[in-house]
Amino acid sequence: MAMHYNAILLCWLSFTTVFSQTDNYIVHMDVSAMPKAFSSQRTWHLATLSSVFAGSKARSTTNITASAKLLYSYTHVISGFSAHLSSYELETLKNSPGYISSIKDLPVKLDTTHSPAFLGLSFNSGAGAWNVSNYGEDIIIGVVDTGVWPESESYSDKGISKIPERWKGECESGIQFNTSLCNNKLIGARFFNKGLIARNPKITLSMNSTRDTVGHGTHTSSTAAGNFVEGASYFGYAPGTASGVAPRAHVAMYKALWEEGAYTSDIIAAIDRAIIDGVDVLSISLGLNGFTLNEDPVALATFAAMENNIFVSTSAGNDGPFPGSLHNGAPWVLTVAAGTTDREFNGVLTLGNGVSVTGIALYRGNFSSIQIPIVFKGECFDLQDLFDAKQINIVVCEEGNTSLEDQFENIGIANVTGAIFITNSIDLESFIPTQFPAIFVNPKDGETIKSYINSSSKPQANMEFKKTNLDNKLAPSLTSYSSRGPSLSCPSVLKPDIMAPGSLILAAWPENILLELINADGTFRNFNLESGTSMACPHTAGVAALLKKAHPDWSPAAIRSAMMTTADTTDHTFGPIKDIGYANQPATPLDMGAGQINPNKALDPGLIYDVNSTDYVKLLCALNFTKEQIQTITKSPSNDCSSPSLDLNYPSFLAYFNARDSESNMTTVQEFHRTVTNVGEEMSTYTANLTRMKGLNISVTPSKLEFKAKNEKLSYKLVIEGPRKIEEGTIFGYLSWVDSKDKYVVKSPIAVTSLLLDTIGS
């Protein structure tokens, strides 16, 4: 289903290694056990490794072996190192002073002009986020990805301020990459592959440098912060001026994902380096499914980023629409779901009687303007019949007992001249970048086509492509592939957090890499359309850059809060945002989080819910992680677990009413405590407004918050009372704090669920 836009993922997944008894390990060490004699953690790590090898080898060679086996000595992200070890050596290492725990290095998968305008960012809005932040000027966005194609116009530094003095990063030289390729836009370029190479010693790297040979990193980084490029388009579709969300921000690329594979040891090293270099925002469009917070390298590494005041945007994953399918559910990052934009790509079928029918299409070629015969072939399941029809005809297929997938495949095999698919499906995104001329029409238009064919003695038609319609009122909708909550790694915090554009996003592409969506005909372009939560994540990273510029004193949690409490929950029809994965039913907070990001509103949210590292530690304690497990996340040997609490000061609410209890008709009560900080006007009064939630008693005390000063903090309590078993499975609602001047609505989603966590997820 999702195969078109996941083609890149597959090349990572299919990457296999020859079995060997050695492996890469990420080793957590207790830095308080480091003897004072060592000048740095690295020398301590080397000495620790040396003593492991000392048993088996001559002393003179152990130091050499140690430095060869040490992949990275980490400093910020975790306290410890990664090394290539045999299982025997690992066992020996476990007896070393300061050893806490270790995990095996793991392969990782990546989760691809118009979107800033769709988000309400434009030149001439006097008060918008672009204006107030000066397009994100001076902010540094670090991107951990497949590298960058520095020649792309999106990295032109025209109009970009000079490199901030605090910047400690570098533009590393390598194959087809030297420092002169960086400029005031692309200010950093580093690459990390020691883990990949240790796991695969015989590997030949296609490009041993930060240069992108995949396209993904060029696309995500230019989505976040690409400069303005006029005349961008995808074969005539989506024409216009392309730009990133924060077009004047600086970009630093950390290449840790390779065409040949990707490993967590390299990703941790990349994030470690980004923290040292001084990025302000990190965009991480990758993730690992099924790991606990203390073992998930992205969760570990991003905790350190949060402590260093770096905002981290991550992708929820492309494993939807199933509950519990998301990754990157750590409470200290922003977890981003993918939505559609209002941009629709069309083709037009003009029948011999002059009647035109418009449908969905993304065919890149041209079609002959002369009319050719059109035939109706029912469900298009008889291949021989299609072969007979192929040369001179436009073949019309209608969905029925034969699925659209099967029809699509048959038409592809038959190599028809042109095809019309009559379908009810609302989830066409993965089909439409066709290799053959094809238009997808709805059943109503299908009737028009069928009755023309049936009534004409010599039915004919022609097709036109490359039409772009910017008026799809059902936008934004949640995509079906976007991974869903709850977060199995931290179930008490509602995830995902927010939705951003992820479908068919136009952004820069390496000009010598075959376009991914359709790659058979050897076409190269400097812009490409890609889909996935990978594409949604850099949008929010760009918004974070704008907010950070406008509010330099805001913490990462404050920025996240501003995004979430001002998100839109309605589409352009003013109805609730729909979920393509569930037949256009309203998307719930467990699917899209707080809603569609709205950067202009996020600039001035009124109130914020702030969280700091102490609060996250209290949460980890309440999640029953052991002392050592918490230490692997925080690096600190002393974590105060005297007041554990699952009740994080988060701008959303998720309550579990356990249906497994025998007395399922008894009532249960859950309380949430929150503290909001006034970042709006000095004197302001907010009143709580709750949506009705069927079968539940919900109350807020106090129901009025009266602020007398800026940055004043006030607390409230939300109490939810209801039956142990929620008949509907999950009930949703919203708590909004509305200020008396009607300027601010600070909105939080509420979900009350009977979901049993151990029965969901992959």
Ligand X SMILES: *[C@@H]1O[C@H](CO)[C@@H](O)[C@H](O)[C@H]1NC(C)=O
Q: Nearer Cβ to ligand X, position 288 or 648?
A: 648
Q: CB of residue 684 vs ligand X: minimum separation in angstroms?
A: 14
Q: Is residue 36 helix, strand or coil? A: coil
- Closest among 439, 550, 566 to 498, alpha carbons compared: 566
Strand partners, 397: 421
Q: Could you tell me which residues come within 8 angstroms of residue 381 by beta carbon, excluding any fewer than 6 positions away?
A: 402, 406, 407, 410
Q: Nearer Cβ to ligand X, position 67 or 87?
A: 67
Angle subtended by helix axes 533-550 and 216-225, to nearest 10: 30
Q: CB of residue 501 vs ligand X: minimum separation in angstroms?
A: 23
Q: Are 27 and 80 in contact (CB under 8 A)?
A: yes
Q: CB of residue 315 vs ligand X: minimum separation in angstroms?
A: 26
Q: Nearer Cβ to ligand X, position 267 or 698?
A: 698
Q: Nearer Cβ to ligand X, position 507 or 688?
A: 688
Q: CB of residue 272 vs ligand X: minimum separation in angstroms?
A: 18
Q: Nearer Cβ to ligand X, position 467 or 472?
A: 467
Strand partners, 237: 234
Q: CB of residue 533 vs ligand X: minimum separation in angstroms?
A: 27
Active site residues: 145, 216, 534
- Closest among 471, 538, 549, 508 to 128, alpha carbons compared: 549
Name the token pair of 348: 């037009």
Residue 191 one-letter amino acid: F
Q: Nearer Cβ to ligand X, position 95 or 202?
A: 202
Cα separation, 468 vs 466, whole angstroms: 6
**Rounded alpha-carbon distances, angstroms, from residue 614 to 34, 72, 271, 639:** 25, 28, 22, 9
Cα separation, 501 vs 341, whole angstroms: 6
- Closest among 461, 173, 479, 427 to 315, alpha carbons compared: 479
Q: CB of residue 451 vs ligand X: minimum separation in angstroms?
A: 6
Q: CB of residue 573 vs ligand X: minimum separation in angstroms?
A: 17
Q: Nearer Cβ to ligand X, position 95 or 455?
A: 455
Q: CB of residue 217 vs ligand X: minimum separation in angstroms?
A: 17
- Closest among 277, 257, 275 to 265, alpha carbons compared: 257
Sign of CA dihedral 72, 73, 75, 80: positive
- Closest among 414, 299, 326, 362 to 5, alpha carbons compared: 362
Q: CB of residue 140 vs ligand X: minimum separation in angstroms?
A: 19
Cα separation, 468 vs 347, whole angstroms: 9
Q: Is residue 184 helix, strand or coil? A: coil
Binding site for ligand X (CB under 6 A): 43, 46-47, 50, 60, 63, 126, 131, 134, 174, 178, 180, 197, 205, 208, 365-366, 376, 400-401, 415, 450-451, 454, 612-614, 623-624, 663, 665-666, 689, 691, 736, 738, 745
Peptide bond between residue 486 and the one before it cis (omega within 30 degrees of 0): yes
Q: Could you tell me which residues come within 8 angstroms of residue 287 by beta carbon, excluding any fewer than 6 positions away?
A: 108, 109, 111, 298, 314, 315, 316, 317, 327, 328
| DSSP per-residue letters across 686-722 | EEEEE---TT-EEEEESSEEEE-STT-EEEEEEEEEE
Strand partners, 419: 395, 438
Q: Nearer Cβ to ligand X, position 643 or 762?
A: 643
Q: Nearer Cβ to ligand X, position 36 or 471?
A: 36
